Amino acid sequence: MSMNNLFKFSKGELVDLLVSTFAIALIFAWPRGFSFDLWFFILFIVYLFTVGAGFILHELAHRTVARHFGAWSEFKAWYEGLALGLILKIILGF
């Protein structure tokens, strides 16, 4: 397996990774209720980098191992799950 294959991303995969990272950071940073203040935006940026980096590295590790063993693997977002996570955070607070 060539190293070039490990770093090859489709446009759809990049979009799904970015949307998922944004959604997960939003879920983590969402305040109780709807009080969007400066603290929310600071937390969102922090979570975007910290949780986003961990999430992306984790998902790319799955993909790298699969490709190492000869399988084709690509990240696909589960938009219904991301929406459900955001709705639960808004309604229930977790």
Of 13, 59, 74, 80, the active-site residue reads 59
Tell me how many degrees the CA angle 49-29-75 measures, rounded to the nearest 5: 55
Task: Answer yes or no: 59 catalytic.
Answer: yes
Nearest to 9 by CA among 52, 24, 18: 18
Residues 6 or more apart from 3 whose CB is under 8 A from it?
Answer: none
Which residue is listed with tokens 């790298």?
A: 64
Catalytic site residues?
59
